[in-house]
Amino acid sequence: MNKKLGTNQDDVATASFIKKIHGWNLNAVYKYASPLTFYPLAGRLVPWFAWVAGILILVGLYWGFFQTPDQLGGANSQKEYYRIIFIHVPAAWMSMWLYVVVTGWSAVGLVFNTRQSFMMANAVAPTGALFTFLALWTGSFWGRPSWGTWWDWDPRLTSELILLFLYGGYMALHSAIDDTRRADKAAALIAIVGLVCVPIIFWSINCPDPNQCAALHQRSSMGRIEPNILTAMLLLTFGFWSYAFAASFARIRSIILERESTTQWVRELPEVRP
Amino acid sequence: MSLQSFLSQGGYAFFVWGSYGMAALLLVAEIFLLQRRRKTILTRIRRLIRMRAQETNHESQT
The pLDDT assigned to A205 comes to: 77
Q: Which of A20-34, A40-54, A101-115, A122-136 has the lowest mean pLDDT?
A: A20-34
Chain A's closest residue to B10, CA to CA, is A80
- Residue A219 pLDDT greater than 80, yes or no: no
Domain boundaries, chain A: 46-262
Q: What is the pLDDT of residues A92-144, one digit of tens each?
A: 999 999 999 999 999 999 999 999 999 999 999 999 999 999 999 999 999 99
Tell me the nearest-neighbour CA distance from B1 into chain A, angstroms.
Answer: 9
pTM of the model: 0.88
Determine contact, residues A146/A78, Cβ cutoff 8 Å.
yes
For residue A141, give the nearest of B6, B19, B45 by CB distance. Answer: B19
> pLDDT grade, residue A22 (50/70/90)?
low
CA distance A142 to A6: 50
Q: What is the 3-state secondary structure (H, E, C) of A150-186?
A: CCCCCHHHHHHHHHHHHHHHHHHHHHHCCCHHHHHHH
Q: What is the pLDDT of residues A225-245, one digit of tens each?
A: 888 999 999 999 999 999 999
> pLDDT grade, residue A75 (50/70/90)?
low
**CB atoms A138 and B38 under 8 Å:** no
**CB atoms B37 and A251 under 8 Å:** yes
**CB atoms A254 and B38 under 8 Å:** yes
Return the CATH architecture of domain A46-262: Up-down Bundle (1.20)
Tell me the nearest-neighbour CA distance from B4 into chain A, angstroms.
Answer: 14
For residue B27, give the nearest of A142, A243, A271 by CB distance. Answer: A243
For residue B27, list chain A residues with Cβ-Cβ distance below 8 A. Answer: 130, 243
Domain boundaries, chain B: 26-56
CA distance B44 to B49: 9
**CB atoms A80 and B44 under 8 Å:** no
Of B54, B38, B16, B58, nearest to A252 by C-alpha is: B38
Q: Count H helices, E strands: chain B? A: 2, 0
Q: What is the mean pLDDT of chain A?
A: 87
> pLDDT grade, residue A3 (50/70/90)?
very low
> pLDDT grade, residue A2 (50/70/90)?
very low
- Residue A85 pLDDT greater than 60, yes or no: yes
- Residue A210 pLDDT greater than 70, yes or no: no
CA distance A205 to A220: 8
Q: Which of A13-27, A65-79, A113-127, A155-169 has the lowest mean pLDDT?
A: A13-27
Tell me the nearest-neighbour CA distance from A56 into chain B, angstroms.
Answer: 15
The mean per-residue pLDDT over the stretch B28-49 comes to 96
Number of Cβ pairs < 8 A linking chain A and chain B: 84
**CB atoms A253 and B38 under 8 Å:** yes
Amino acid at residue number B3: L
The mean per-residue pLDDT over the stretch A53-59 comes to 97
**CB atoms B12 and A272 under 8 Å:** no
For residue B44, give the nearest of A126, A133, A261 by CB distance. Answer: A261
ipTM here: 0.91
The pLDDT assigned to A1 comes to: 41
For residue A271, give the nearest of B1, B19, B42 by CB distance. Answer: B42
CA distance A130 to B43: 27
Q: Pick the residue with more confidence: A217 or A22?
A: A217
Q: Is A87 helix (H, G, I), strand (E, B) or coil?
A: helix
* Rounded-to-10 torsion of CA A33, A35, A40, A41: 20
The pLDDT assigned to A256 comes to: 96
For residue B42, list chain A residues with Cβ-Cβ distance below 8 A. Answer: 257, 271-272
